[in-house]
Amino acid sequence: MISAKLQSGDEIRVVSPATSLAVISVENRQIAHEALQYLGFKVTYGINVAECDVFNSSTVAARLEDLHQAFADPQVRGILTSIGGFNSNQLLQGLDYDLIQANPKVFCGYSDITALSNAIYAKTGLVTYSGPHFSTFGMHRGLDYTLTAFKNCLMDDRPCAVLPSDQWSDDAWYSDQINRTFEENPGFLTLNEGQAEGTLIGGNLCTLNLLQGTEFMPSLADQIVLLEDDYESQPLTFDRDLQSLLHQPGFEQVRGLLIGRFQHASHMTQELLTQIIRSKPALDKIPVLANADFGHTTPHFTFPIGGRGRLVVEGEQASFTLLEH
């Protein structure tokens, strides 16, 4: 089930299912608000969006209230999360999945939001989106690729090729909008050749793994899985987390794997990642492509969790296409 595409004039509701909007500076909030207005959207906020406790979050009840109000409000056409965090999975048993299924609309975020996006898809069949948070739109420079990919996925229903960005950044842009560091993007990294077409699931690996063994884990059969992780995922951690996913029922039917770019502080290298992938017999017969523009570096593309895509890896020639989103 794919919700209606966003259009200029639509209302977007900002909610905080994990970390509070309060952690984002007033200046960056204003930049984000104006960037979304420039795209033609009316931006509104959940009543509890800036509530903040000792965990920089809010009560489960407050977060559920904002999510339920956003899905129930017929004027709201899209929902953006403020930022990621650590505790979105606290909400899974309290979500009203019947309400969500009866009111399909765009739901977009990444990182810790992976738990909600994949659970909503698993429980309702609604396609959700791994893409920018509200806070992402607070970036003053280096946002063009992210904006274009957001519009291609959420404001257009035509198939679109996801091309590598020209440059990328892993700097603390939210602390210093002026002194930014941009690096040339070498493009995709081929790890296994092959072709695959299937349903897309995934997002942040360590968060997706929190769903293992629960009713909230989507099926892995006939999927192309997209995985990324942040600076805390060192090579040994990523290896262990990936192995855990490979052990899940249905992984033998996974059709392809796309891996997002690692942050510098993860200390992942091309050589180490290649060695990790080569050590997994479960991946030998499927295409595996890495260094894609999604995850905790910027910029990043938006992809549909529950949509369909095509992954082609042939030598140095590689492509990823969103088919249904």
Sequence-separated (6 or more) residues with CB below 8 Å from residue 102: none
Q: Tokens 């369909």 appear where?
A: 308
Q: Kindly list the catalytic residues.
A: 111, 228, 296
Sequence-separated (6 or more) residues with CB below 8 Å from residue 17: 63, 66, 67, 81, 88, 91, 109, 113, 116
